[in-house]
Chains A and B, each alone.
Chain A
Amino acid sequence: MVRLAPLDLDKIEDSELRDLIAQCEELGVPHGLFPRIVARVPAQAKVVIAQLIEAHTKGNVPHRLKELMRIQLARFVDDPYFASLRSTQAVADGMTEEMVDAACEDYEDSELFDEAERMALRFSEQLFLDADKVDKVFYDALRKHWSDAEIMEMGAFIATYYAVQLFMKTLDAGPVAA
């Protein structure tokens, strides 16, 4: 049982927050459960949910790649809720479970990814596995494939989703049924 139960939708009076939750359900990520938990603090929840949607669905870095980075982080954090979610847009863009497993386990050797994608997956993995390895040499290598704006987009995306996935892990939420 989740340590902080999600609020019932009819208990959430803020229409802007309800609209954001509906978007989360439609996108598949972050789904509706997490937003309904943090809806206890409506002002903060609106900012956080809008940032989750913005970071994941907007920008120049391919959405499918960001979804793979997000799942890699969720598995790394060992959060069953976020690890079970799949972006409907990423799936429509061709993301498969084979790609998900490869991104989490053997992206270095997988032919499913090009070198730019491997660098991005190294970034999300190393930033929270061993941040000391994300040094000047690493950023110089990242810059060969991605612009500074794209690196900032990925960094903010990684930080944002790592944060909420870590918080959700402490709430002990289970996976969402496919």
Chain B
Amino acid sequence: MRYVEKISTDPDSFGDADWDDLRAHLSEEEIAELGLFLAFNLGFHTFFGSLKFYPMFSPDGRLVSQEESEKIYGARPESLQGQAAE
């Protein structure tokens, strides 16, 4: 969780001590897997976020238009609400 936070907000702050902590808990294979997973999610969430598309279904399971979905879920996709609150 520390890795994802730092890589997304301030990658320069991820120093040798953080790296040693990561190695203490994860293998090199797991670190490579995790790094790719995090980086691709950051990259594509940023691009997709700019396209402003919204969930296809309402919270009660109805198929809704993008216009209605935007009204339900707000000005940003729900998955970015945490980021928007900063």
Binding site for B on A (CB under 8 A): 3-4, 37-38, 40-41, 44-45, 48, 77-78, 127-128, 131, 134-136, 139, 155-156, 158-164, 166-167, 169-171
Say yes or no: A163 contacts B19, CB within 8 Å. no
Given contacts A131-B46, A156-B47, 20 further A-B contacts (CB under 8 A): A37-B32, A38-B32, A38-B36, A41-B29, A78-B12, A127-B50, A128-B46, A131-B49, A135-B52, A139-B50, A158-B43, A159-B40, A159-B46, A162-B39, A162-B42, A163-B40, A163-B44, A164-B39, A167-B39, A171-B35
- Choice from B3, B38, B47, B52 contacting A155 with Cβ under 8 Å: B47
Chain B residues within 8 Å of A170, by CB: 3, 7, 11, 14, 35
Chain B 1-35 per-residue mask, 1 if CB under 8 angstroms from chain A, else 0: 00100010001101000010000000011011101
- Choice from A48, A77, A158 contacting B36 with Cβ under 8 Å: A48
Cβ distance A24 to chain B, nearest Cβ, rounded Å: 15
Say yes or no: A3 contacts B47, CB within 8 Å. no
Question: A37–B3 Cα gap in the complex (Å)?
Answer: 18
| Residue count of chain B within 8 Å CB distance of chain A | 25
Say yes or no: B32 contacts A40, CB within 8 Å. yes
Q: List 27 A-B contacts (CB under 8 A).
A: A37-B32, A38-B36, A40-B28, A41-B32, A41-B36, A48-B36, A127-B47, A131-B46, A131-B50, A135-B50, A135-B52, A139-B51, A156-B47, A158-B47, A159-B40, A159-B47, A161-B43, A162-B39, A163-B40, A164-B39, A166-B39, A167-B7, A167-B35, A167-B39, A170-B7, A170-B11, A171-B35
Binding site for A on B (CB under 8 A): 3, 7, 11-12, 14, 19, 28-29, 31-33, 35-36, 38-40, 42-44, 46-47, 49-52
**CB contact under 8 A between A169 and B11, given known A40-B28, A44-B36, A164-B39:** yes
**CB contact under 8 A between A134 and B11, given known A44-B33, A48-B36, A166-B39:** no
Question: A170–B18 Cα gap in the complex (Å)?
Answer: 10
Say yes or no: A166 contacts B29, CB within 8 Å. no
Closest 9 CB pairs of A and B: A163-B43, A159-B43, A163-B39, A167-B39, A134-B50, A159-B47, A167-B35, A40-B32, A163-B40
Of B12, B19, B32, chain A has the most CB atoms within 10 Å of the CB of B32
Say yes or no: A160 contacts B40, CB within 8 Å. yes
